[in-house]
Amino acid sequence: MRRTALALLAATALAGPASAADDTAQVGYVNTALTNLGLTRSHRIVVERFEDPDVRNVSCYISQARTGGISGMVGVAEDPARFAISCAATGPVEVQPGAARGERGEVVHESSTSFFFKETRVHRFIDEGRNAVVYLAWSTKLVEGSPFSAVAVVPMTR
């Protein structure tokens, strides 16, 4: 029983960060520092693209720091809560009728940044007054009382 539990834990750790969006794709990365003389994965900044399922023709790009070393390779490292987001219209922006409206927004993307509990999330807000879609990226890790955050705005097609 103990071996089965350890095997399951190892398989979960090796699976790596998860994302709420099914069509998240890694665009590229840069190494920022070698670890263990280059014998393990280096620290890096990864750029991923995801699509908003309820807003057509918008692609969002998020860059995030990823921890290297042995702990990073097996998926147990805690990645820094540092990221940036940019979203762009790739055609006429169409908000679907089912898209959540209101001040609470809706989660459209999540990625795990530690083995336990810390995530980067992206909420979408519809700003009807300015005819824009607003994306807020934020970390679930509190840093001195306030999480890190970043925002991107895409104008809607009139």
For 49-95, write each residue's pLDDT tens digit: 999 999 999 999 998 887 776 665 556 565 566 789 999 999 999 99
136 within 8 A of 122, measured Cβ to Cβ: yes
pLDDT (tens digit per residue) in 21-54: 457 889 998 887 776 666 666 778 889 999 999 9
pTM, full prediction = 0.71
Task: Provide the pLDDT for residue 158.
Answer: 66
As a whole number, the mean pLDDT across the chain is 76
The DSSP bridge partners found for residue 143 are: 146
How big, in percent rounded to 5, are the helix, strand and coil portions of the chain?
Answer: 15, 50, 35
- Enumerate the H helices of the chain as residue ranges: 2-15, 69-74
Q: What angle do CA 12, 111, 133 make, to 5 degrees?
A: 155
HSE-up of residue 33 (Cα within 13 Å, Cβ side): 9
The CB density around residue 79, as the number of other CB atoms within 10 Å, is 22
Task: Provide the pLDDT for residue 121.
Answer: 86
Task: Provide the pLDDT for residue 61.
Answer: 96
Residue of 123, 48, 106, 61 whose CA lies nearest to 88: 61
